[in-house]
Amino acid sequence: MTISPASPLEAPALEHAAAAPLLDQVERWASINSGSRNLSGLSMMADMLADAFAILPGEVRLLDPAPVDAIAPDGKRVDVAHGRNLHVSVRPDAPVQLLLTGHMDTVFGADHAFQSLRWLEPGVLNGPGVADMKGGIAIMLAALAGLERSPLAPGIGYEVVINSDEEVGSPGSAALIARAARNKIAALTYEPAALPDGTLAGARPGSGNFSLIVGGRSAHAGRNPQDGRNALVAAADLALRLARAAGPGLSINPAKIDGGGPNNVVPDHAVLRVNLRPMTPEDEDRARALIGQIVAKVSTAHDVSIHVHGGFGRPPKPMTAHAERLYELVRDCGAVLGLPIGWRATGGVCDGNNIAACGVPVVDTMGVRGGAIHSGEEYLIVESLGERARLSALVLLRLAQRGRV
């Protein structure tokens, strides 16, 4: 296949994207703690991003999250607050429509020890969220600003969603992302590259988080234990049965049991927390059936009630033929710029899973090169800011010209 070099219509947009104040933005944004539960930090971050994205034509809004609840250690439902989400809409009537997404939250809470930036060596910046994904947000904005400098821009419209809860599964923003994905020919998400060399993440498993709430019956542990129904033992039995059911296409991780009390009381409640990761939609169906079967067996065996809370917030993301064409476009644009681009399956999940489930092809690792994310060693390779901004800008321009994936 012949790969066309950047045309006179494209080159100025690419250079404008690479000339954006990318590193300055990353340093300013990463200096703000925006852990998923730090609502004040997320509010500050949302305001800064709204100001930054106001350079684009169109409507910039900060939207409240959808209501979310969770199960407390005592088995009761509690409301969980999340931050506002940035939504940008540009040229919604243009013939070609795209979706770009990112997240402003990090895994580092306000009380986490990892709060500051430092240079590990020239060109390698260590800091919370520099790769995952404040660097990616800077790349996205630079690419869009470059696009707007091109005469091709009027033919392409886009929506941007930058959510505040991706690191906790996007429970308050999933519906917003699904709405934004409607009628889009393709999507780009700005998670960091899967490997420091720039390799993209391809197929991804799904992920479901469940709380299994067990209701037993309390009794004196010495006088009449036979009258009790031990919820903690039932929860342990659930965990063991689920763990044994894991296999090809489905990983299962029983992660925590809440419950119990004084040693002389048969515990009457417990909550098992478990994560399941199916590889395909069929594996997800199998996982749902498996949960129901095991819950029924344990309920009968221990004479307890079990309520299932949660679901598969991240559907599996297989590599479809439609998606592969988008990956090939990104690869070809990389070749124009002298950037070797490949992809591989990965075990992680992100908002790209949700977008793909809407039938929209998505490349979800368009962000920076770096590594050690979700740890105090997280780092950004600074030269990747400009190179990936140019890559994204070229992908956008090529989609504008092709009108399809």
> What residues are annotated to the active site?
105, 166
**Separation of alpha carbons 338 and 334, rounded Å:** 6
Nearest residue to 194 (alpha-carbon basis) of 377, 392, 344: 344
**What would the two tokens of residue 208 be?**
């479901």
Q: Which of 373, 375, 353, 376 is nearest to 364 (CA)?
A: 353
Q: Which residues of 83-105 are buried (b: 16+ CB within 10 A; e: fewer)?
A: bbbbbbebbeeeebbbbbbbbbb
Q: Which residues of 257-283 are buried (b: 16+ CB within 10 A; e: fewer)?
A: bbbbeeeeebbbbbbbbbebbbbbeeb
Whose tokens are 């243009």? That residue is: 94
SS3 of residue 33 by DSSP? coil
Encoding tokens for residue 30? 């990463």
Ramachandran angles phi, psi of 43, nearest 5°: -65, -45
The two structure tokens encoding residue 42: 């997320």
d(CA 61, CA 50): 7
Q: Are 342 and 331 in contact (CB under 8 A)?
A: yes
> In whole angstroms, what is the distance from residue 97 CA to residue 337 CA?
24
Can you tell me the distance from the alpha carbon of 212 to that of 311, in angstroms, rounded to the nearest whole number? 11
Query: What angle, rounded to 10 degrees, do the helices at 383-402 and 11-18 form?
Result: 150
